[in-house]
């Protein structure tokens, strides 16, 4: 590791799109990172980009057994922690809730919600006893406050995570740990080339910068609410907006120094890849909604046969 005196930031899900953004934001601030992911190959590739500042720990928080094993590895490192960031989320295809079996929602909760609980159960005590900064930040996706059209299962899981953040925020106080959820209200722009075409979508590095602002806030006496809405209009995600958080309580995020940074490796794309701007599932959901509104006014015709039922 480098000669910095800052304790490392523990990042769960470090090889995902958002996780890499958090790692990059930490490194440009000269923060070392303990990167955790279940894919050993992707983890090794991430560490190779900054071997002097990234400690790679292969592990998972998929369930209690995996969480306990990861906690044991972290204790064996015998390193103080500069906070914990949980970027844990599964993958899900678009689709209506009523069109899929009940097991689809169970799988969604197994991947999006329960790993956060397993992580908290086994790693909160580690942070409480070894944390130089006892701040725990969970990153939540869209749909937690209002349904995300075409992604109902994801919305249900995100809403449950929002409530879990409130519960953990209260329960973790007894261990001296501050738990917050950074609620990202829109889909993340995972292709840098499309950033200008979709300014409404936050970038992974902007999310990472606001996460670091929340972690840094742990050194200040003012308290923050459990849920912090991400503000896509704020450069670098440096402030929060909405009724649940006061923008004045977050510190400004200064421009990071010019230095080599991690590649987000989100895939190549050009601004002309218009098909990437609206996933097929969203198009189908929009057509189904419009047809449901127009069908009572316009009886079926031969031209209507291609519309979704």
Name the 3-class secondary structure at 58. strand
Q: d(Cα 294, Cα 287) in Å, to the nearest integer?
A: 10
* Domain spans, the chain: 9-273, 278-309
To which residue do tokens 């991690």 refer? 262
User: For the segment 174-194, what is each residue's pLDDT rounded down to a tens digit?
Assistant: 999 999 999 998 777 666 655
Instruction: Give the pairing of strands 135-140 and 227-229.
Output: unpaired
Q: Which fold has domain 9-273?
A: Rossmann fold (3.40.50)
Tens digit of pLDDT at every position of the chain (309 positions):
444 578 999 999 999 999 999 999 999 999 999 999 999 999 999 999 999 999 999 999 999 999 999 999 999 999 999 999 999 988 777 888 999 999 999 999 999 999 999 999 999 999 999 988 999 999 998 888 888 888 889 899 999 999 999 999 999 999 999 999 999 987 776 666 555 556 667 888 999 999 999 998 866 656 789 999 986 555 444 333 333 444 344 444 333 444 445 555 433 333 333 334 444 455 556 656 665 666 555 454 444 444 333
Whole-prediction pTM value?
A: 0.75
Q: Are 21 and 203 a contacting pair, CB within 8 Å?
A: yes
What tokens appear for 294 in the block? Answer: 């127009």
Starting at the edge strand found earlier in the chain, the sheet holding 135-140 runs 54-58, 33-37, 9-12, 84-86, 135-140, 178-183, 227-229
> Residue 113 has what pLDDT?
95
Maximum CA pair distance of the chain? Answer: 73
User: For the segment 78-100, what is each residue's pLDDT rounded down to a tens digit?
Assistant: 999 999 999 998 877 788 899 99
Q: d(Cα 118, Cα 113) in Å, to the nearest integer?
A: 9
Name the 3-class secondary structure at 275. helix
Indicate the helix (H) or strand (E) that contains 262. none
Q: d(Cα 249, Cα 135) in Å, to the nearest integer?
A: 15
> Residue 260 has what pLDDT?
42
> Residue 21 has what pLDDT?
94
Q: What is the DSSP string of 33-44?
A: EEEEES-HHHHH
Name the 3-class secondary structure at 30. coil
């Amino acid at each position: 590791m480098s000669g910095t005196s800052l304790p490392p930031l523990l990042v769960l899900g470090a090889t995902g799109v958002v996780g890499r953004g958090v790692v990059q934001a930490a490194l440009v601030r000269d923060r070392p990172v303990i990167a955790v992911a279940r894919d050993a190959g992707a983890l090794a590739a991430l560490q190779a980009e900054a071997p002097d500042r990234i400690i790679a720990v292969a592990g998972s928080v998929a369930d209690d057994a995996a969480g306990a094993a990861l906690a044991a590895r972290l204790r064996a490192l015998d390193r103080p922690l500069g906070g914990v960031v949980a970027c844990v989320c599964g993958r899900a295809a678009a689709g209506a809730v009523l069109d899929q079996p009940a097991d689809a929602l169970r799988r969604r909760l197994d991947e999006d919600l329960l790993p956060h609980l397993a992580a908290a159960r086994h790693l909160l005590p580690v942070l409480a006893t070894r944390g130089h900064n006892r701040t725990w930040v969970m990153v939540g996706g869209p749909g937690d406050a209002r349904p995300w059209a075409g992604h109902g299962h994801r919305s249900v899981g995100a809403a449950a995570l929002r409530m879990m953040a409130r519960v953990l925020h209260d329960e973790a106080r007894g261990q001296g740990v501050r738990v917050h959820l950074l609620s990202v209200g829109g889909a993340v722009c995972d292709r840098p080339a499309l950033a200008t075409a979709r300014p409404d979508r936050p970038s992974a590095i902007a999310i990472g910068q606001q996460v670091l602002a929340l972690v840094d806030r742990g050194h200040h006496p003012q308290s923050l609410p459990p849920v912090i809405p991400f503000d896509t209009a704020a450069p670098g995600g440096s402030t929060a907006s909405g009724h649940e958080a006061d923008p004045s309580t977050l510190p400004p995020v200064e421009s990071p120094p010019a230095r080599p940074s991690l590649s987000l490796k989100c895939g190549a794309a050009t601004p002309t890849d218009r098909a990437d701007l609206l996933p097929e599932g969203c198009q189908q959901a929009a057509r189904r909604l419009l047809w449901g509104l127009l069908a009572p006014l316009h009886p079926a015709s031969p031209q209507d046969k291609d519309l979704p039922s």
